Amino acid sequence: MKKTVFLETHNIKNPTTGFGVFNYGLIKGLSALKTDNIELTISAKNPSVLKKEFSDKFKYKRIFGFSRYKAFRVFKKYDLWHSVNQNTKIEPRKSTKYLLTIHDVNFAENPQNIGNKQYTLFLKKLKKADAITYISEYAKKQAHLYFTIPNVPEFVIYNGNPITKIENTSDYKPEVPVNRPFLYSIGDFLEKKNFNSIVAMMEFIPDYNLIISGNHNKEYGKKVKQTIIDLNLTDRVFLTGKISETGKQFYMKNCKAFVFPSIGEGFGLPPIEAMKFGNAIFLANRTSLKEVGGENCFYWEEFQPEYMASVFYEGIKKYESNKNFYQERYKERANSFSWENATIEYMKVYKTLLLI
């Protein structure tokens, strides 16, 4: 009889966010593996979309918002429940083996969050975990710093690169001006993404434009827009809003440099995506980014605008003087993060817990 594994993957409904990208990458990677002795069930708000792509490779479970409440939890008992990120609110109804994947515990850095719903939910997940996977060494270190981790097996499994194929973007029509050299960034408009720092930096980089993609219809998006206005940068800094895969690749391919000043990453998918195209990479030396970016990216140690501009000019000069070297190293590193490898490791964890 096959062992049953349930993947709580409802975040796939937001495919452009980090959790959504992770969910899809994990599902797609697992779909390519032989799973003769394991039956995998994936969950989503609209599983028919996934079923159309993956056919009978998986079982499917439709998840509703009210599924988070105890009375409406998934009725079937599975041999293993995989909570694919630390924020999922949908939990198993019945006791089962439980695998928890931790992306980050940034919420624990603010003492005001101790005891709130997110914090309490995480403690419950830790208590029931039979094994824990982390998406980076940093995420593991951060979890151990703020929580007492149970004595269970722990694994660090790096994410794969979401860009597996470089598209032909020659017919793409950009939403914003690209008639001058530009820097590019992408991400959800949250405080931790720190986009305001690169906007302020642009005051000291007059020979470049800046383009940022992502959902800016949020409170932090308002702050970024106001900074653009206050610094008179409306003709040089542009926000595209949410972007298609083709659009993202167009900007990554055609930018002079990819800039990512985030201070709250558990992994950092955009930098390894950008490395596929070989352009200069500038990252904040915070959280997991040095671990993921490696030794050939350029790093900001602080976020004072003039300092950031000086790091940029020094780095771009170094990059241009040895472009072939950097392009080769970036592409090698981008390709080293593989969902094929990642899902093989997740399957090993499943089999360990299932005693297969």
pLDDT digits (tens, 9 = 90+) for 177-222: 999 999 999 999 999 999 999 999 999 999 999 999 999 999 999 9
Helix ranges restricted to H, the chain: 18-31, 47-54, 117-128, 137-146, 195-201, 219-230, 245-254, 269-275, 289-293, 305-321, 323-336, 339-354
One-letter amino acid of 55: S
Q: State the pLDDT at residue 72.
A: 64
Which is more confidently placed, 95 or 159?
Answer: 159
Matching CATH topology for 3-160+338-354 and 182-336? Answer: yes
Q: Does residue 67 have a pLDDT over 80?
A: no
Q: State the pLDDT at residue 138.
A: 96
Mean pLDDT over 45-72 rounds to 85
State how far the alpha carbon of 152 is from the alpha carbons of 133, 197, 349, in Å: 10, 40, 12
**Among the listed ranges 65-74, 83-92, 145-154, which one has the minimum average pLDDT value?**
65-74
The residue assigned the tokens 């900007």 is: 251
What is the rounded average pLDDT for all residues in the chain? 94
Q: State the pLDDT at residue 94.
A: 85
Cα Rg for the chain, rounded, in angstroms?
A: 21
Q: State the pLDDT at residue 69.
A: 59
Q: Does residue 34 have a pLDDT over 90?
A: no
Domain boundaries, the chain: 3-160+338-354, 182-336
CATH architecture of 3-160+338-354: 3-Layer(aba) Sandwich (3.40)
**Which helix (H) or strand (E) segment is 113 a member of?**
none
Which pLDDT band, with edges at 50, 70 and 90, does 8 fall under? very high
Q: Tokens representing 46?
A: 């609209």
The residue assigned the tokens 């997110």 is: 118
The beta strands (E) that lie in 75-224 are given as: 80-83, 97-102, 131-134, 154-156, 182-186, 209-213
Q: State the pLDDT at residue 236.
A: 98
182-336: CATH superfamily = Glycogen Phosphorylase B; (3.40.50.2000)
**Residues 5 and 84: beta-carbon distance below 8 Å:** no
**Among the listed ranges 82-91, 155-164, 242-251, 319-328, which one has the minimum average pLDDT value?**
82-91
Q: Which of 18, 15, 12 is nearest to 188 (CA)?
A: 18
